[in-house]
Chains A and B, each alone.
Chain A
Amino acid sequence: MESLINNLLEFFFILTGFLLMYTAGSVFMDKTHPTRLGTTLFWLFLGVIFAIGNFIPYYLSGIMLLVIGVLTLFKQVKLGHVRPIEDDEAEEASKRIGNWIFVPVVVLAAVAVGIAQFTPLGGQVGIGIGAAVSLMTGVLITRATPKTVMDDSDRMIQQVGTTGILPQLLAALGVIFTAAGVGEVIAGGISTVLPEGNRFLGVVAYCLGMVIFTMIMGNAFAAFTVITAGIGIPFVIAQGGDPVIAGALAMTVGFCGTLLTPMAANFNALPAALLEMKNESGVIKEQTPLALILIVVHIALMYFWAF
């Protein structure tokens, strides 16, 4: 089963690689593109890493990533000409197709969730199969030509743009932080300045430690182990705090950090790109007031409920 899952996933990664390389090709053919070669190279390298990253030495992918970084640093990756959606065309099509247009979207969700729930294949394979089945459903319903499908794939990928790979890149950064032992340094630092024997300060330090460390790592799970070992156990639980309640609250207060940080790109920058928002940090801005209120709520809950 394990190998079946891995083979299926590898297949989906190769497909994704082809979509990215198609975008590279379409940018290359666009003679009017302002940064034609740089943008072509960006999508081509990304496509190659996706398609054959597991079959070539890892350092080659590392080199390609550094080139990608140089390209984006010098603003060589830009949105080129993509086939726009014509409003009257869409209006006309929607009159013809009616509510059937919702079917592919529902199929994606249903297949993805169904496979995750009822088969041992897991959620990720579910998304891959869901994407394929829903695309086929969509083509049947809309009668879109292959050219239109590829045009729209290219349009969506270019619109999501460089932000789309940010979550994956940050995940890779997390791996390097872990390899370097960054977490231990932070937890050690906090525990040396905190006075022992004060429950309230302990609760505040545990909660804020989770928030701040989650904001740095972009991931509350990564923060939880480090901060619980470094702060939660000695300053909250060793003073009589209930490990069940303190642990549950520490995790969700960490999620408040996720709401506040550009490091959690898959939750904040990615939807901004998917929704084509003007302001890349618009989602974080919207979440900030409630996230701050929730941090206070968590501190109060942990102080009064865990002891």
Chain B
Amino acid sequence: MILLEIIKLIGIVIIVVGFIFKFDTIAVVLIAALATALVSGISFPEFLSLLGEAFVSNRLVTLFLLTLPMIGISERFGLRQQAVRLIERIKGLTPGRMLSLYMVIRELAGLFSIRMQGHTQFIRPLIEPMTQASAEAKYGEIDEKDVERIKARSAATENFGNFFAQNTFIAASGVLLITGTMESLGHEISAVAVAQASIPVALIVLIFVAASNVLFDRKMKNKYGKKTTVPTQKGGE
């Protein structure tokens, strides 16, 4: 009986192995789905219908594709170049400060329940180019490895700001899920209290992210700082 139940986890094993060995992800997910269905008594034709229905009814997840044409033409007509020009005019802006600023904005958006798909709406078109521009304005040319890191940090900032502040709003879906689940398990709790209990974590994450940005700026300065001082020395002599 227990063995019968455990075999349902075969899909998870396939996913883990597939991700570790970097097999083709789409194929791995489909195989995991098929295996899980077959060991759980779902027949192959039933599986095809279930898979098709599940995929079609989750098309919402991929709706961001519709925003791509606009982002595409904006980039062709100089979005990045203009972002660089704008950032160059702001003195004292560093990649770390840029991302800390976005982190504050993102957490406030969560508090006021402004739902947004930050990666498509802000990170790719605006925040990442501006962060990169602030690095280039300050340090000149930066190497490929650091461009990659700035990209990763931009995306990570969106996730930190989005995840850990969203429950500070009383009608956030996470808060409603917590109260709903607790209620169905016999513990009546209020959404306001859950939102309040979510505030410390939002603040802690904000502090950690800001501190990590300070460290990142320091690292960048140590690595590239010389490049900006060389021309000034020349000018001085």
Report how far A228 CA is from B178 CA in the complex, Å.
Answer: 9
Report how far A96 CA is from B91 CA in the complex, Å.
Answer: 24
Q: Does A188 contact B (CB under 8 A)?
A: yes
Chain A neighbourhood of B158, CB < 8 A:
271
By beta carbon, the residue of chain B nearest A288 is B156
Report how far A58 CA is from B56 CA in the complex, Å.
Answer: 8
Q: Does B163 contact A (CB under 8 A)?
A: yes
Report how far A255 CA is from B181 CA in the complex, Å.
Answer: 17
Partner of B189, one of A97, A247, A270: A247
Report how far A247 CA is from B186 CA in the complex, Å.
Answer: 13
Chain B neighbourhood of A58, CB < 8 A:
48-53, 56
Contact B151 A248 (CB under 8 A): no
Partner of A290, one of B11, B66, B189, B209: B209
Partner of A135, one of B70, B86, B119: B70
Stretch in A24-32, A101-109, A196-204 touching the partner: A101-109
Chain A neighbourhood of B178, CB < 8 A:
224, 247-248, 250-251
In residues 286-307 of chain A, which contact B (Cβ within 8 Å)? 286-287, 290, 293-294, 297-298, 301
Where chain A touches its partner, the secondary structure class is: helix
By beta carbon, the residue of chain B nearest A180 is B40
| Pairs A–B under 8 Å by Cβ, sample size 27 | A16-B66, A19-B66, A53-B52, A57-B52, A58-B51, A60-B52, A62-B52, A63-B48, A66-B30, A69-B26, A73-B26, A97-B82, A108-B70, A123-B115, A127-B66, A138-B70, A153-B69, A177-B36, A180-B39, A180-B40, A221-B177, A244-B190, A283-B156, A285-B152, A286-B152, A287-B156, A301-B201
Nearest 5 interchain pairs by C-beta: A94-B78, A152-B72, A61-B52, A62-B48, A58-B52
> Interface of B with A (CB < 8 Å)?
5-6, 8-9, 11-12, 15, 19, 24-27, 29-33, 36-37, 39-40, 42, 45, 47-56, 58-83, 85-86, 113-117, 119-126, 128, 144, 148-149, 151-156, 158-160, 163-164, 167, 173-174, 177-179, 181-182, 185-187, 189-190, 193-194, 197-198, 200-201, 204-205, 208-209, 212
> Interface of A with B (CB < 8 Å)?
9, 12-13, 15-16, 19-20, 49-50, 53-54, 57-66, 68-70, 72-73, 75, 85, 89-95, 97-99, 101-102, 104-105, 108-109, 112-113, 116-117, 123-124, 127-128, 130-132, 134-135, 137-139, 141-142, 144, 148-150, 152-153, 155-157, 160, 162-173, 175-177, 179-182, 185-186, 188-189, 216, 220-221, 224-225, 228-229, 233, 237, 243-245, 247-252, 255, 258-259, 262-263, 266-272, 274-279, 282-283, 285-287, 290, 293-294, 297-298, 301
